[in-house]
Structure 1
């Protein structure tokens, strides 16, 4: 009989606790609606230990109110980053509870809030990177990825931003995750100009875009093919290992990648770049030859060979590759820009030599030789810069570079003509 009373007393205690817990959640909900979210969090923290054993309906309400409280504080710029993260955790917990129980009451609102949080995280990350706060931006991008893992592009950008922050440990962790997902990033994007506001709109499919072009609301359709980022990912994994002094791990990373993706020529370039870093020029040249043999007329591949060669200060080889790209595709603007930039890099040593000279007759003679050499260098860039301006007149940086060249060569008529077009 005594045990029976103990059982009844325990049941009564649980009922009282559950009742009190419900009241606390309602009080917290009321506090949020009254704009006192900090007070709501204090109330919810007080009953947190009881929620574990609560019915699913109470748990769902608890996490919904908790998410709303933290989100409200974030929107009021009260420790925005921390509170956005806490709100997201609460909403995700809610979604998992209602999914498991099969009873959906708050999930739709929570999902909408998660979408809002995700947008705020991404916008915050963009602002952080512009302010050179790359570590903070990378964390926000990773948090955005955790909110919706199907958007793997945010994981990729988080890894890249950690590289910019020189946080190689976190970058490596995220790159390894991308590798395990076999992430490519290869895609086709579809755009057209909206006739109402003159802005270029993005479309998920060519059919969606073309339908509106046909209706007359949009014009100037264009496609943008985004190449695979897999090579870059494996390259960065390898280079981080190199930076950490783990050459064997770096070579294995690229070797594994090539076995898994035998037709991805970008990985050949990654391996070539690795051996270039290791100063193994024989293996480097062998891999370059292999890449060309696989795709002798692939302009993207040949352009990348030019980039790799220029990075190795093999400028003759780089010029050969860039000219080959231009021959295959006369509208490949980056080949013109890179060629001009590579040539202009040769100005600095000339200027350094000029600055070392004195005023003697011998020095003045040497100065005139260097001056002509500099002018010849500038003239050699004009065809490439002029073509780049022709292909992309909206590219202000290229136009400014050409203006500087014209100014240095005292080509006044050409300078004025270009200036008038800008």
Structure 2
């Protein structure tokens, strides 16, 4: 009886093996006829038994499946087709690496590379056109097709962040952190003697060869900085956007451990500390940031923004004044200084409303309001000079001119405003 069972098992295995080979042959014939739907049908029938097949059969199966889905993707460029093709090819590479063979891998690599090139071009174009919704999907698709190209996962993470898809951005940035992504690259360049332009030679050997020919000179090898601190920093920024203050603070501290003198990180932590009501920590971080970069106009501008958000308008004014002192062309410094000064207008309006029956008092407050408006006009005029097509600045100047009875200036500004509509 035992022998009969063993015989039946052997017959079953033999029958299954013949079935697999028949289906693979049928799939191969269908591919030659460009009948990829039939090929996939035959491969689907064989798939249930493929786990028990020998490595040679598995390699052939994954190759045929990858080629079939890659061909389908040319007429139906859906994510599912690209994904199925890429998964099949990557499974093929794993099997043949274990076998110590490259028979099918050599044939599959050009197809996979062509797919990666096609989808990456679409993803980069979407990104450049600021279609971040499409870009995040296409660029992540490239990473799925070619996991060794981790830079596309970074691009997908940035696209998801810009698309405000913070859950995906967090997942992608966290994956980059977990796999130890650095993004470090080495560039080999030399100067073309004919054009005088520095060109990328691709590899060190090619650079050396071109210099030896005498057509290129001044070879240079440059290695980029690690992107790991930026990845960790972006995780913190995503948590900030998600409103998860505690996790954001923990992530910022992780990032600061990698990049302790990154002023933007210090500002981010300071902002989080103030949200948690930790004013002493906030003040300490502010002083730390200023010590690191005392001539950075953008730093003082950001300090002004943070102070203004906390209602500390006098402190905000000091920072904005320092900002434009360091950089007289810092447009937003003038605008935000004017805005901080106009916070006093709220109290004046409230007083005026309480004095509607007291004409003398009302006129006195109205005069103070007019003086306030006149004091901020030069700030907005400077902003307009630096950025003449900013509609918000133009509207603010129109209102200020109207309320201070500067009719000629109001009319000039209105004409400018109308020309921009």
Report if TM-score (shorter chain) is over 0.5: yes
Q: Match for residue 202 of structure 1?
A: 200
Q: Match for residue 351 of structure 1?
A: 394
Q: 1:305 aligns with which of 279, 286, 299?
A: 299
- Shifted more, 114-123 versus 167-176: the winner is 114-123
Per the TM alignment, residue 366 of structure 1 is displaced from its structure 2 partner at its CA by 5.8
- Shifted more, 62-71 versus 250-259: the winner is 250-259
Secondary structure (helix, strand or coil) at the match of 2:200 reads strand
Secondary structure (helix, strand or coil) at the match of 1:151 reads coil
- Given that residues 234 and 270 in structure 1 are in contact (C-alpha distance below 8 angstroms), is that contact kept between their aligned partners in structure 2? no
In structure 2, distance between residues paired with 1:119 and 1:88: 13
Q: 5+ residue gaps in structure 2?
A: 309-318, 330-381, 417-421
In structure 2, distance between residues paired with 1:308 and 1:107: 54
Q: 1:193 to 1:40 in 2, by over 3 A?
A: farther
Per the TM alignment, residue 295 of structure 1 is displaced from its structure 2 partner at its CA by 7.0
Q: Match for residue 316 of structure 1?
A: 321
Per the TM alignment, residue 62 of structure 1 is displaced from its structure 2 partner at its CA by 0.6
Q: Map of 1:212-291 to 2, 5 A cutoff?
A: 212=210, 215-218=213-216, 226-259=224-257, 261=258, 264-266=260-262, 268-276=263-271, 283=281, 286-287=284-285, 289-291=287-289
Secondary structure (helix, strand or coil) at the match of 2:49 reads helix
Q: Match for residue 152 of structure 1?
A: 150
Deviations 1:6-27 (A, max 9, x none): 3223312321221121011011
Q: Match for residue 120 of structure 1?
A: 118
- Given that residues 232 and 270 in structure 1 are in contact (C-alpha distance below 8 angstroms), is that contact kept between their aligned partners in structure 2? no
In structure 2, distance between residues paired with 1:271 and 1:90: 46
Q: Match for residue 327 of structure 1?
A: none
Q: Match for residue 60 of structure 2?
A: 61
In structure 1, distance between residues paired with 2:25 and 2:42: 10
Q: 1:162 to 1:242 in 2, by over 3 A?
A: same
Per the TM alignment, residue 204 of structure 1 is displaced from its structure 2 partner at its CA by 4.4
Q: 1:151 to 1:241 in 2, by over 3 A?
A: same
Q: Match for residue 336 of structure 1?
A: none
In structure 1, distance between residues paired with 2:393 and 2:227: 38
Secondary structure (helix, strand or coil) at the match of 2:405 reads helix
Q: 1:363 to 1:37 in 2, by over 3 A?
A: same
Per the TM alignment, residue 173 of structure 1 is displaced from its structure 2 partner at its CA by 0.9
Deviations 1:257-315 (A, max 9, x none): 323x2x5422x521312423665686556435435645779xxxx47637745876854
- Given that residues 252 and 268 in structure 2 are in contact (C-alpha distance below 8 angstroms), is that contact kept between their aligned partners in structure 1? no
In structure 2, distance between residues paired with 1:114 and 1:44: 19
Q: 1:159 to 1:368 in 2, by over 3 A?
A: same
In structure 2, distance between residues paired with 1:101 and 1:109: 16
- Shifted more, 306-315 versus 231-240: the winner is 306-315
- Given that residues 255 and 265 in structure 2 are in contact (C-alpha distance below 8 angstroms), is that contact kept between their aligned partners in structure 1? no
- Given that residues 182 and 226 in structure 2 are in contact (C-alpha distance below 8 angstroms), is that contact kept between their aligned partners in structure 1? yes
- The alignment yields a C-alpha RMSD, in angstroms, of 4.2
In structure 1, distance between residues paired with 2:107 and 2:301: 49
Deviations 1:107-149 (A, max 9, x none): 2222333333222221121233345542332233223224444
Q: Match for residue 36 of structure 2?
A: 37
Q: Map of 1:79-228 to 2, 5 A cutoff?
A: 79-130=77-128, 132-187=130-185, 189-191=187-189, 201-204=199-202, 208-209=206-207, 212=210, 215-218=213-216, 226-228=224-226
In structure 2, distance between residues paired with 1:17 and 1:65: 19
Number of residue equivalences: 351
Q: Match for residue 405 of structure 2?
A: 362
TM score, norm. by length of structure 1: 0.68
- Given that residues 235 and 271 in structure 1 are in contact (C-alpha distance below 8 angstroms), is that contact kept between their aligned partners in structure 2? no
- Given that residues 73 and 80 in structure 1 are in contact (C-alpha distance below 8 angstroms), is that contact kept between their aligned partners in structure 2? no
In structure 1, distance between residues paired with 2:8 and 2:227: 64
In structure 2, distance between residues paired with 1:222 and 1:309: 40
Per the TM alignment, residue 89 of structure 1 is displaced from its structure 2 partner at its CA by 0.4
Per the TM alignment, residue 170 of structure 1 is displaced from its structure 2 partner at its CA by 0.9
In structure 2, distance between residues paired with 1:252 and 1:168: 17
- Given that residues 210 and 216 in structure 2 are in contact (C-alpha distance below 8 angstroms), is that contact kept between their aligned partners in structure 1? yes
Q: 5+ residue gaps in structure 1?
A: 325-338, 375-422
In structure 2, distance between residues paired with 1:286 and 1:353: 36
Larger Rg, first or second structure (1 or 2):
2
Q: 1:221 to 1:81 in 2, by over 3 A?
A: farther
